[in-house]
Chains A and B, each alone.
Chain A
Amino acid sequence: MNSTMTELSSPHTRPVRGVAVTLSGSMALAIVIVAGVGLGARDISPLDVVRALAHAGGADYDAQVLWTERIPRTLLAVLVGASLGSSGLIMQALTLNPLADPGILGVEQGAALFVVSGVVMFHVTGVRAYFWLALAGAAVTAALVYGIGVRTQTGSTTIGLVLAGVAVAAICASATTLLVARDDAANAHLRFWSVGQLTGRAGVLDEIVPFAAAGLLLALPLGRTLNMLNLGEDAAAALGVRVGRARLMCAAVGVLLCASATAAVGPVAFVGLVAAHCARLMIGADHRWALPLSMTCGAVLLCLADIVGRLAGGQGEVQVAVMTALLGTPFFVWLARRGDLVRV
């Protein structure tokens, strides 16, 4: 796929293809949700899962496990995955950078640092407060990384942004460790702010839903704006887009999505990267279709990573961020090897 050409020539996905891909994406999501609810330390057959989903409030043990643990957890994975997927696509479209991802660019680590500072210094509790802290952290970090990334001498801003993200993420992660490391109790409690995980986070679902849903709803109509911005600033301005305002709005929504995901489960990298590329590979660079599809892809990916992590661990579970790193890095390396990425 020649991304430069497709991005420049204002791609339009035909509705038939769009509907077909969206439908298959939704089916994949449904399958993954049923699998995510059914698979685990206690296997429950898909038929029982569907039955339990259809009749809420069953009294037997399986139904209890499903409604208190598996279903909230799977829904949380879907929400977080969708947020990260669309956040990744928005960041890639805004920076014209195929390696952009809220985790790789350090935005999630910045959000996590702000949350941990709030918890340790001001004794903040509750996911709602976490969200506002995460939002502030994500916004500051995103601005910082972007500011450094476009001023690098690395030949292309693609690489400059990634390197800036690595440096800022290292600083944020170290500062987070600094805040939590001296206290074993705090460390055990706050550990998921350094490695994102879904284990035991099912309870935050109803608190994070408003924020995540608001972010996803705000993101949906941005596809057309992103398409026009990708034509270049002059062309977009000629088409009646107020470029500065549009870019700022898209960036704000991307940061909001990333912040709600981080506030819910901690930093999870590579989901946005892979989801955005999968969406574009399947449906082309028309963001009106690619944006909703990137949400679906992100949700499927995060659920899959969670299922694999649940089944792969010996006595415990492998944190979902570890699984996404293992699944996403080969993809990252493959992208980094592509000829059009690195200026030789």
Chain B
Amino acid sequence: MISNKRKAKEDKSLIEELTLDNYSFEDYIEGRDIENISVEHIDSGENLQNSHQEQTGLNLKSYFINSVVFCNVHSKKINACEINDVDNITVNAVQYDNKRTFRVFEVYKTQNETEVIETGVGQVQPEVSIDLAFDDEDTSNEQLPTKVPRVRDMGILHKIKYINTPDVNILFPGYSKEILLGIIKHIADKTLNEGVSRNEEVTINDLLKVFLPNVWLNDAVINTYFDLLVKQSKDKVLAFNTHFFEQSTKQKFTNVVCKKLKNIKLFEYSKIIIPIHLAELKHWALILIEPQAKTITYFDSLLVDLNTFNFLSTKISFVVGFLNIVYRAQERFVPTFTWKIKCGDSPLQNNMNDCGVFVCINARYIIFNQQINYSHEASDLLRQRITYEILSNRILISQ
């Protein structure tokens, strides 16, 4: 009992620490006055961001988008303020103190002067703390089986049909009606938020995105499937996370990306596969790098025309730059070879929904050194195969 009480106390102190008043951004905001923001900076988010980056090395853009800027007015610590009127810079600022009271200021800035008027004092609404305090009860509610609907009650499982094709032995070895019924039975009793077996990363909700025909795949499924593939491959294969490409193109080679790659000797792997998510097109594609042969192959299940290729080549050339940097750092030689970029031979999809499936299956054929020999007609069966493989936590290898 006592230990429980102590625990509760600790938790409470933690909660208090995390509420808005103590959860301050002082570390990097301190000493920056409202004067730092001049009119032309506010006009364009870019300039504001740059001017702050010079001073702090940080990016304030995100706060700007939400029209919240963190700043410090006349040494009164202001945690959050909102810019109402860009031209005259009227700022509503809110100051929180330790007793969870807050003060509202209006800050007017004319050409020479800054005027701060206190307009109100208030108490932080109790909802904020309650939400955090009863977090643990939240999770217990989720586990109550009566409240959350099960998959069988959602009326979606009838969309999955047994598929009878002569190529079954190649596409899904061991496929039978019993196996399909087994998968459906396994899923039907679960709720959407439940994890798949021991694997917490994929929930039933994610898994249904593969299982149901004509649904878009998400990152959780693809990452898990690629992990499975790498685990079972005989060659030395490296698979990157789906977020790697997006993160690296955006952040270039910041500390985080470099830290990740520091201990990975890329040039010792026989194959590197990168699933890439093209956010602009809402599309999945695959890049295969063969470090020994110095080739980069791009697999896309949509027809690549000239416009898209131009768009893509800028992205793929990023991979080349990245490989060269890694090569210089790890092998201590200036790379003298050239990388060949080519378009891979992927089957084409006949709808706008299956690209994630094609990425997974292409990767499987590449890793196990098999000839790609399927077509879009088999996509529903392949979806069932991926579901089965994720559920049983192993890849089926056809002889």
Q: Do A and B come from the same complex? A: no
